Amino acid sequence: MNDFRWGLTALVIAGALPLIVASYQFLMIGWHFRRLHYSRCAPIFPRTAILIPAWNEAAVIASSVDRLMRLSYPPDRLRVFVIDDASTDETPQVAQAKAAEYPGRVFHLRREVGGQGKAHTLNHGLAEVLSDNWMQAVLIMDSDVIYEPPSLRRMTRHLADPGVGAVTAYIKEGSRPGNYLTRFIGYEYITAQAAARRSQNVLGAVACLAGGAQLHSRANIEALGGRIDTSSLAEDTITTFRTQLRGARVIFEPHAVVWAEEPGTINGLWKQRLRWGRGNLQVTRRFARVWFRMDKGHRLGSTRFGLFWFTLLLQPVFLICASASLVTLYYIDAPLAWDAFHALWIVNVLTYVFITLFALLIDPETGRRVWREAILFPGLVSLLIMLTVIIPGPLRYLTDHGLSLIGASGVRHYGAEFELFIYAWLAGSMLVAYLAKVAENHLPHRAGAILSGALVYIAGYGSLLCAVSLAAYVKQLRHAETTWDKTEKSGKMAVSV
C-alpha cells in the first residue's frame, strides 16, 4: 500500500515535468550568446528562388509579391515563383499580372490538378528551380507571410558556412487589430519560437523549420532528393529532421523576423493545431530509432532534445495522470494528497513566474501587446489556485470574510468538494477548453464568440492546446484520414515593414 501511495505521489509530481523541462529550456537561452553562429557567417547573397505555394490566395498574393520585391536583397539574385495549386479564384490572373509587372523576377507556375496539399505543390516548384543551375538557395514561404526587409539577407549569411543546410526565421503573429486569440498566439510564439528555438540553437538540434520561413542551400535540397516528404502532415518537421540526420546544421536566426496571420477563431486554431499535433505524432513514430540514441552526426538523439520533444508531446498525459493520482490519493491518504498537490503547484508557480517574465523580456515589443494574455495563459482558475498555494493566509481571510459579508458562509462546508475540484482541475481544464470549441460551433455567432472567449480565459490557452493534442492522439489512434485542411487567411495584417 505504501508503494502505491508513493507511486501516486510520484505521478503527481511528474505533472510538473513539462514545466520544469520548459524552464530548463528557457535557462539555456542565457547561454545562446556563447553559441552564436555569426563567426562562420559572411555577407553573401546566393541566387535565391522563393517558392510560394498558393491555393486560392488572390486576396494576399499581390501584396506578398510586392513586399518581396522590396526585400533588402540584390534584385538580380532573387526570383519569386508563385506555385498556383489549381486555384479556382483569381490567383492565376493576379500571379500572371505580377509576372508581367516584374519580368524575369516573378514567375507563375500552374498545377492543373491540385488539392493534394502543400508538399505536393512545393515539389512542383522545386522540380522547376532545380531544372537549371541558376538557383543556389531556395526559400520556402507561405503566401500571406510578411518578411521584414532585412530578413532574407540575415538568413542567407548563415549559408556561408557549408555545414549549414537550412535556416529558419522568427515567426511573429501579425494580425491587426487581432483579437484575444491572436494575442494568445502572439505570446505563445515568443515561447515556442523566440525562446524554444534559441535553446535548440544552443543544443545544436532544431525541432522544426517554420513552414513560412525555411531557407535551404541547393546542396541540402539536392541531398534530400530534391523533394519534400508528402506522406505526413508535418512535412516541415520531416525536412528539418532529415536535414540534421544527414549531418547538416539547421540554424534559427532570431533577428530575421517574419510576420504571419494566425487563426482568429477557436475552430480555425483547432484545425491548424490538430494538423500539427497529428504531424508531430507521425514524426515521433517515423523517427523512432532516433530518440535518446546519441549519434556523432547529429544531436537529435540527445537526452535533452528527447526530453524537450516528449514532455511537450505528452503534456496532456502528464496532466491527466497528475489529476487522477491526486483524486485517488485524496480517498486513501488525504493529507498526503494535500502535500503532493502543494508541491506540484509550488513548482507550477515558480516555473510560471520564470517563464512568463523571461518570455516578455525576450521580445518586449510583442510583450507590450500581449502581456495580459501572458499572465492569463494558464487560465483564471489556475491563477487562483497558484495564489492560494503561494499566499494561503491572506486569501483564506479574504474568502472567509467575503463569504460572511455576502451571507454565504455555508459555502465553507463544501471544503471537500472544493479540494477535489482543484485536484481534478489540471485535467478538467482541458474539458472546459474543449467546451469553448463546442460553444463557438453551436451557439449563435456573437454569443458563441463571447462564451468561448470567456471559457478560454477561465481554462487557459495552454489547456486549449493540450485539448487539441488529446484530440490529435485520438485521431491518430483511430487512423483517421490524413487530409490537408488549409488555414483560412484574410490578409488582415497591418504590420508596417
Partner 1 sequence: MTRRPPSPPAPPPRPLSRTFGGEVRRAVAYERGLALKAVLCVAVVALIIVAEIVWG
> How many residues are given for the chain?
497
Query: Is the distance from CB of 165 to CB of 297 less than 8 angstroms?
Result: no
Residue 29 binds to partner 1 (criterion: CB under 8 A) = yes
By CB under 8 A, tell whether 150 contacts partner 1.
yes
Is 338 one of the binding residues for partner 1 (CB under 8 A)? no
Q: Which of 22, 26, 55, 183 binds partner 1 (CB under 8 A)?
A: 26
Q: How far is the CB of 427 from partner 1 (least distance, A)?
A: 26
Task: Enter the C-alpha cell of residue 244.
Answer: 540534421
40 binds partner 1 (CB under 8 A): no
What single DSSP character describes residue 487? Answer: P
Residue from 4, 6, 36, 441 binding partner 1 (CB under 8 A): 36
Pattern 234-273, binding to partner 1, x per CB under 8 A? Answer: --------------------xx------------------
Phi-psi region of 240 (alpha: psi -120 to 50; beta: other; left: phi over 0): alpha
Please give the Cα distance from 74 to 70 (Å, whole number).
10
Residue 168 in contact with residue 215, Cβ under 8 Å?
Answer: yes
342 vs 401, beta carbon nearer partner 1? 342
At position 15, the amino acid (one-letter code) is: G
Toward partner 1, which CB reaches closer, 327 or 343?
343
Q: Which stretch binds partner 1 (CB under 8 A): 53-61, 67-75, 79-87, 456-464?
A: 67-75
Min dist CB 361 to partner 1, Å, is: 4
Q: Is 432 in the site for partner 1 (CB under 8 A)?
A: no
* Residue placing its CB nearer to partner 1 in the complex, 5 or 77: 77
**Does the protein bind partner 1 through residue 154 (CB under 8 A)?**
yes
The DSSP string of 401-445 is: HHHHHTT-GGGGGGHHHHHHHHHHHHHHHHHHHHHHHHHHHHS-H
Instruction: Name which of 353 and 416 has its Cβ closer to partner 1.
Output: 353
Nearer to partner 1, 70 or 285 (CB): 70
CA atoms lying within 13 Å on the CB side of residue 185:
24
Strands (DSSP E) contained in 48-117 are 48-54, 78-85, 106-111
Number of residues that bind partner 1 (CB under 8 A): 33
Does 43 engage in binding with partner 1 (CB under 8 A)? yes
Report DSSP state, residue 488.
P
Residue 64: in which H helix or E strand, if any?
helix 58-69
Which of these, 285, 160, 296, 297, lies nearest to 234 by C-alpha position?
Answer: 285
* Residues contributing to the site for partner 1 (CB under 8 A): 26-27, 29-33, 36, 38, 41-43, 45, 72-74, 150, 153-154, 157, 198, 254-255, 346, 349-350, 353-354, 357-358, 361-362, 390
